Amino acid sequence: MRTPVSPQAEEDGTFRPSWLAMKLATQDKTDYDGHVYANAYQGTQKILMICTERKAMTMANGKKFSTGNHPVETLVPMLHLRAAGFEIDIATPTGAPVQLEMWAMPTEDEAVMGLYKNIKTQLDNPIALTSFAAESLNETSPYCAVFVPGGHGAMLGLPDDANVGKVLHWAHNRDLFTLALCHGPGALLAANLPEAKAGQPSTAFPYAGYDMVVFPDAVDKQTPRIGYLPGHMPRWLGESLTDLGVNIINKKSNGAVHIDRKLVSGDGPQAANAFGRLAADSLLKELNN
C-alpha cells in the first residue's frame, strides 16, 4: 500500500523520494542571490568540476535509489564561480554524461534553469578523467581548483576511482583549491586508493587533520523514515572520512560552510549559495593578489 512516505518507483526500477520527502526537501526556486563580483577574475585559470556518471545507488536493503549530482548543489555554485569570472570544465570518470537528480531540479528558478540549458551540451559530453589523468596532471595545466558537487550520486564510483584520487593528489600538491559540497567530499576518499598514492611525494591521506562540513551520517540514517532514501546507505560518508583522520565539525545540515586551508566545504543544498560565494571569494582573493 502506497503512503506519503513510500519512495516513488521510476520506470527503470529505481526509486526517487516519497511525496512527503519531495515536499520537505526540494524547492522550485533556490536562494541564489545573484551576487555581482566587482573584482571578477580576468586570467586564464579554470576550474575542473568532477561529476558522477552513475544514477542507481544500491542501498543496504538492495533497493536502488535514483540519484546523481544534486542540481542545486551543482548549478548554484557554478553560477557564482562563473559570475566571478571562472571558466568551468566538466568531467566524469569515463566521459559518459553527467547524471543529475532531475527530480530535485528547481524548475521555477530562472537563473538556475538558464545555466542548465546553457551547459547541457557540456553535461552530455564531459571530459573523460581517464584521458585527463593521463595527459593533464602537470605544472602547465590551467586550473586553479577542483570542484565536486554533492548529491548522493557523488558516492557512486568517484570514491573508488583511482583517476579521481590522482587528480586530487595533483591539486593538493600544486596547492590548488578543492571545493566539495554535501556528499561531494565522498570523492576525497579516492585519494586514499593505493593506485592514487603510487608515485606521490607523500602517501598519507592529503586531508587528514582537516576540518570540514558534510552531509551528516545522522541525517542520512533518518531519511529512510520519510522515504527520501529507499533504504540505508551502503557506505557512510562521515564515518569513512573520520576513519581517515578528517574532523567533521557539523552534526546537522543547516547550510553551514567552512574553509580549511585550500579546502572549501558545505553541508547540503541549503549551503549551495553560501558555498558558491565562499568558493568564489576565496579564489578571487588568492588569484587577484
> Active-site residue numbers?
182
Number of Cβ within 10 Å of residue 194's Cβ equals 9
Q: How many Å from the N-terminal Cα to the C-terminal Cα in the chain?
A: 61
Residue with cell 542540481: 71
Instruction: Please state at what angle helix 71-83 crosses helix 110-124, rounded to 10 degrees.
Output: 100
Q: Which of 146, 142, 151 is nearest to 169 (CA)?
A: 146
Q: How are the residues of the chain apportioned to helix, strand and coil, as percentages rounded to the nearest 5?
A: 40, 15, 45
In the structure grid, which three cell numbers stand for residue 126, read together?
564531459
Give the C-alpha separation, 88 to 90, whole Å: 6
Q: How far apart are CA 169 and CA 167, in angstroms?
A: 6
Helix-helix angle 71-83:272-287, to 10 degrees: 30
At 114, phi and psi to the nearest 5? -65, -45
* Cβ neighbourhood burial of 175 (10 Å; 0-12, 13-18, 19+): exposed
245 φψ region: left (φ > 0), alpha (ψ -120 to 50), beta (else): left
Handedness of CA 243, 247, 251, 256 (dihedral sign): negative
